[in-house]
Amino acid sequence: MAKPVVTIGVCVKNGEYTIKDAIESIMRQDFPRELMELIIVDGHSSDKTLQVIRNCLKNTSTRAKFFCENEGLGWARQIVVDNASGEYIVWVDGDMILSRDFVKKQVEFMEQHPEIGIAKGKMALEPASNMLATLEAFSRAASKMVDYHSKKAYSKALGTSGSIYRTQSIMQVGGFDKDMRGYYEDLDVEIKVRAAGWLLDATDAKYLDYERLGLTWKNLWSRYWRRGYYTHYFLHKNKGMLKHYRMFPPAAFISGLVYARRLFKLTRNKTVYLLPVQHLFKMTAFYLGFLRGHLNSYEPKS
């Protein structure tokens, strides 16, 4: 078989209810199947995630490699990097759905721009399973609506989901920090890629990334508390990358207003005007988690 051009990296844990859509969207790509490989890294799922994936791949010609880990996101991402045969790595989360031309567009963009190390696809703005999930999906999409060539975007993470990495660029900087177990493994590696002279950009290759199973206030609180907790290690490693005043809940309320105005112009969905409240809530959780991480002097596993 021909050497793969693209490695699809899927890091997933307990995603049995959404992973089928994600894998099927990969299988529907209009990119030559023989030029793709799939690397699955499972975080020791306690549900039927792996069974669902294997069923989706049954009777297909897809080249797939399976790995398991229980050390966190940085470790899982690096497993993909270490085992990738492709010139590019496209990252797909367990609850994402790719447009049919996603991989093709991403690869064409990278081929046309050899100076780009990482390029982010475009998250489609579509309502999710409930109001809170829609707000969270829209908020994430709005946070990526920046000019990644500007200095203001230096502390804005493209994120792995829906991004394509030039394998050369990620290998050059030593890959992901395996000690980053929860969050910010993406921004950490983007900082290193930029420092090595590569550029970051965004493309118009569309994907969906939203809460299809619903989202509760409790889930949202837990998610952002953990994000805040793990931010402590990231800031010790990358001092000054995140401004403390932007973490304060009142600042989050203001950013929610900015996002709401921007999103209403795009969607005409009045629900977005609840974003200030949602931002205030989740960033309160974030800041409390950050304070706990600071008090506990969180350090990575050795």
Give me the DSSP letters along 27-66: HT-SS-GGGEEEEEEE---SSSHHHHHHHHHTTS--EEEE
Structure tokens at 61: 């010609």
Q: Is residue 1 part of a domain?
A: no
Spatial separation of the C-alpha atoms in residues 186 and 188, rounded to whole Å: 5
109 and 163 in a single domain? The answer is yes
Please indicate, yes or no, whether residues 67 and 190 belong to a single structural domain of this protein.
Answer: yes
**Whether residue 50 sits in one domain with residue 117:** yes
Shared-domain flag, residues 124 and 227: no
Residue 232 backbone dihedrals phi, psi, to 5 degrees? -55, -45
Shared domain for 33 and 105, answered yes or no, is yes
Residue where one domain finishes, among candidates 209, 227, 257 = 209
User: 226 and 201, same structural domain?
Assistant: no
pTM, rounded to two decimals: 0.89
Pairing of strands 36-42, 88-91: unpaired
More confident residue, 297 or 200: 200
pLDDT in tens, 73-126: 999 999 999 999 999 999 999 989 999 999 999 999 999 999 999 999 998 888
CB of 109 within 8 A of CB of 203? yes
Picking from 156, 180, 209, the residue at the C-terminal end of a domain is: 209
Phi, psi of 154 (to 5 degrees): -60, -35
The domain boundary, picked from 148, 183, 209, lies at 209
Q: Round to the nearest angstrom and report the end-to-end CA distance of the chain.
A: 40
Across-strand partners of 37? 7, 63
Considering the domain architecture, whether residues 174 and 223 belong to the same structural domain is answered as no
Cα 183 to Cα 174: distance, rounded to the nearest angstrom: 18
pLDDT at 302: 42
Same domain, yes or no: 46 and 75: yes
63-68 and 199-209 beta bridge pairing: unpaired
Same domain, yes or no: 165 and 230: no
Structural domain containing residue 122: 6-130+140-209
Q: Which of 109, 107, 75, 73 is nearest to 90 (CA)?
A: 107
Dist. CA 294–CA 286, nearest whole Å: 12
Same structural domain, 226 and 155: no
In a domain, 62, yes or no: yes
pLDDT tens per residue across span 238-284: 877 766 666 778 888 998 999 999 999 888 889 899 999 999 999 99
234 to 146, 247, 250: CA distances (angstroms): 22, 14, 23
- Residue 108's domain is classified under what CATH number? 3.90.550.10
Do the domain assignments include residue 301? no
Q: What is the pLDDT of residue 138?
A: 87
Residues 162-193 have pLDDT tens digits of 999 999 999 999 999 988 887 889 989 999 99
Confidence band of 232 (pLDDT split at 50, 70, 90): confident
Q: What is the pLDDT of residue 151?
A: 66
Same structural domain, 156 and 41: yes
Helix segments in the chain, DSSP class H: 19-27, 49-57, 73-83, 102-112, 131-143, 167-172, 185-195, 217-237, 249-267, 275-295
Q: Is residue 13 part of a domain?
A: yes
Q: Both tokens of residue 139?
A: 């908020």
| 46 and 172 fall within a common domain | yes
